[in-house]
Structure 1
Amino acid sequence: MRLLLMSDTHLPKRAKELPAPLLEEIPRADVVLHAGDWVDTATLDLLESRSRRLVGVYGNNDGPALRARLPEVARADLGGLRFGAVHETGPAQGREVRCAARFPGLDVLVFGHSHIPWDTTAPSGLRLLNPGSPTDRRRQPYCTYMTATVDGGRLTDVELHRLPPRHTT
């Protein structure tokens, strides 16, 4: 099972559209996970129409229209693993222990908010993944997203993808 992970798309505030390399990944994915801060409903509509399966949550920049359609926390069983998605997890320091306590029973937690890619494993075994942002790199050198594979109840091939810089005219 191929997964596409993204967060913090912030459309149309940070970019006019999702980057082409990311859009090309959508039909290749069995499941798209979005960890919030969509900002507009058009992005949700786009991902719903192009994804085989979409798991998403709202973020702190998402207004009433998105909050009416998305949960704050989502859970999904994918290929024998228990996934969760949430936008905010708090400060980096202590994140693994805090998230393991808040989300017992999960194998993988996808989160966003910081725009900083993150891939760690809590002492409990909970894998924490933040794909960064495909449209707003903030203090990071690149805009990013992640792909991963679930195979035989194991998460494999977790890969952070760097996007080319946007060109302005």
Structure 2
Amino acid sequence: MRLLLTTDTHVPTRSRALPGELLAAVDAADVVFHAGDWVDEATLDLLAARARRLVAVHGNNDGPGLRARLPEVARAEVAGVRFAVVHETGPARGREDRCEQRFADAGVLVFGHSHIPWDSTAAGGLRLLNPGSPTDRRRQPYRTYMTATADAGVLSDVELHRLPSHRAG
């Protein structure tokens, strides 16, 4: 199963639209994960219409409409891999231990909020992935998203994709 991981799209506050490369990756994916901070319900509608399967949560910048439509935490099993999705995990220091306790039933945690790509594995085996932001790089050199493959209970081919540093749209 081909996976696309994204978060912190912030349309239209940080970008007028999602980058074309990201939308092409959505079209190619079997499952799309979005870890919140959509800002705009139209972006949720767009990804929901294009994705074969969408696993998504709301973030701290999402208003009542998005909060009514999306949970704070989502869980999904894809090709035998157990995923949890949440927007915010707190400070980087102690993140692995904190998240491993909170998401003990997951093998992979997809999160956002910081706009900083993150790929680490906690002592007990929980893989933590933050795909960064495809629209707002903040202090990072690139706007980013991730792809991966899930097959027979194994997550593989995790790749961070860099987008040009200019604003999308």
Q: TM-score category by the smaller chain?
A: over 0.9
1:158 match: secondary structure? strand
Measure, in 2, the Cα distance between the counterparts of 1:77 and 1:87: 18
Asked whether the 8 Å contact 2:137–2:165 carries over to 1, the reply is: no
Q: Tell me the equivalent position of 1:11.
A: 11
Aligned to 2:45: 45
Structure 1 unmatched ranges of 5 or more: none
Q: CA-to-partner distance for each residue in 1:20-54, whole Å, 9 max, x for gaps?
A: 10011111100000000000000000000000000
Corresponding residue for residue 94 of structure 1: 94
Identical columns (%) = 71
RMSD over aligned CA atoms reads 1.0
Per-residue CA deviations over 1:117-136 (Å, capped at 9, x if unaligned) read 00000001000000000000
Q: Residues 63-117 of structure 1, C-alpha deviation per residue, up to 9 Å, x if partnerless?
A: 0000000000000011001100000000000000000001111000000000000
Instruction: Determine the C-alpha separation between the residues in 2 that align with 1:11 and 1:20.
Output: 14
Match of 2:137 in 1: 137
Contact 2:109 2:126 in 1 (8 A): yes
1:124 matched residue in structure 2: 124
Asked whether 1:158 is paired with 2:165, we answer: no
Q: Measure, in 1, the Cα distance between the counterparts of 2:54 and 2:10.
A: 18
Q: Show structure 1 runs of 4+ deviating over 2 A.
A: 165-168
Q: Which amino acid aligns with 1:21?
A: E
CA distance in 1, matches of 2:121, 2:25: 26
Determine the structure 2 residue equivalent to 1:58. 58
Give secondary structure in 2 for the equivalent of 1:32.
strand
Name structure 2 gaps, 5 residues minimum: none
**What TM-score results when the alignment is normalised by the length of structure 1?**
0.98
Count matched residues: 168
Whichever residue aligns with residue 13 of structure 2, its letter is K
